[in-house]
Amino acid sequence: MTRAAAIVSKRLGRTGRFLWSSWSGLAAIFLFCVIWQIGHEAYGAFILPSPIAAIAAVLQLATQEANWQTALVTSRRALEGFALAALVGISAGIIAGYSAASIRLARPLVTLILGVPPIAWIVLAMIWFGSTDGMVVTTVAIAATPAAFIGAAEGIMTRDRGLDDMARAFGAGPWRRFSTLAVRHVAAYVFPALVLTLGTAFKVAVMAEVLSNSGGIGGGLARARSNLDVSEAMAWVLISVVALIAAEYGFVRPLHSELERWREAARPWGVRR
């Protein structure tokens, strides 16, 4: 087998394992549906529509082109805020990680920012920006930055000094030590933080839309609420969750597992699959 073929077959194997592992995820989802159904039968269709009804409402919504646009608007806002948060949080975190003084200054600030509930940021951003795109994106970015910041700073602070010395012995300057060693180490800390950040981004985006009535999935939820249409409200919730899962499993997780291939190698055979 040539080298290229070996690489392709290894990659296919990994992708296959990744897909195969989704069975356990599906099992969890079905278990959740069971509990949901029990709740539905206990409290009736008005309080809690059945999963089937909610899925039917989703399919109903999916037939209309405009609703796709609505979901896309929210996804775009969440992802823009997420990208902004990741950019600002990670670069600030890396700087703070290298300088002990700035991390001491930044820690209370992070606590402060985390202490302000996202809903308060929404209100402030509504006053500053009005009910616009920018308002939602800003709120998302502010709410999601601290997690990315802490992840990156922790990564830099816990880097392996032994490896740094090794690189120095082989003549690596500060930039090479950062680009070849620190970046990889930071990635291990930043990715879990990014998953958290992405979740926050979608939740805050929907929340901001509900409150400010600025369209998107939140706008749909607000309309369903005023019509007392519970199935449609449930459907919008489902759609926002699906959008989040698509972003997480389509982008963040594959990148992460590519970088963390060596951890996979460490697992004994029995646990690998």
**Given the complex with another protein, which of 19 and 265 has the nearer CB atom?**
265
Q: Binding to another protein by residue 115, rule CB under 8 A? A: no
Residues 6+ apart with CB under 8 A from 44: none
Under rule CB under 8 A, residue 166 binds another protein: yes
Q: What angle do CA 202, 211, 85 make, to 5 degrees?
A: 35
Euclidean distance between CA atoms 207 and 201, whole angstroms = 10
C-beta of 186 vs 244, nearer to another protein: 186
Judged by CB under 8 A, the chain residues 209 through 268 that form the site for another protein are 259-262, 265-266
Q: Which of 69, 180, 213, 227 binds another protein (CB under 8 A)?
A: 180
At residue 45, the 3 state secondary structure works out as: coil
Q: How far is the CB of 185 from another protein (least distance, A)?
A: 8
Binding another protein (rule: CB under 8 A), the pick from 11, 72, 128, 165 is 165
237: tokens are 């919730």
Six-digit token string for 178: 């950062």
Q: Are 189 and 151 in contact (CB under 8 A)?
A: yes
What residues contact 205, with CB distance under 8 A and at least 6 apart? Answer: 74, 77, 78, 81, 136, 139, 140, 216, 217, 218
| Rounded distance between C-alpha atoms, residue 171 and residue 51, angstroms | 61
Using the rule CB under 8 A, which residue among 76, 184, 223, 225 binds another protein? 184
Q: Which of 167, 243, 244, 247 binds another protein (CB under 8 A)?
A: 167
Residue 162 found at the interface with another protein (CB under 8 A):
yes
Q: Which 7-36 positions form the footprint of another protein (CB under 8 A)?
A: none
Size of the site for another protein (CB under 8 A): 20
Give the nearer residue to another protein in terms of CB position, either 123 or 172.
Answer: 172
Q: 50: closest CA among 36, 62, 64?
A: 36
User: What whole-number distance in Å separates Cα of residue 125 and Cα of residue 34?
Assistant: 40
Q: Which is nearer to another protein, 3 or 273 (CB)?
A: 3
With respect to another protein, which residue has the nearer C-beta, 167 or 252? 167
Among residues 44 and 174, whose Cβ is nearest to another protein? 174
- The residues binding another protein (CB under 8 A) are 162-163, 165-172, 176, 180-181, 184, 259-262, 265-266
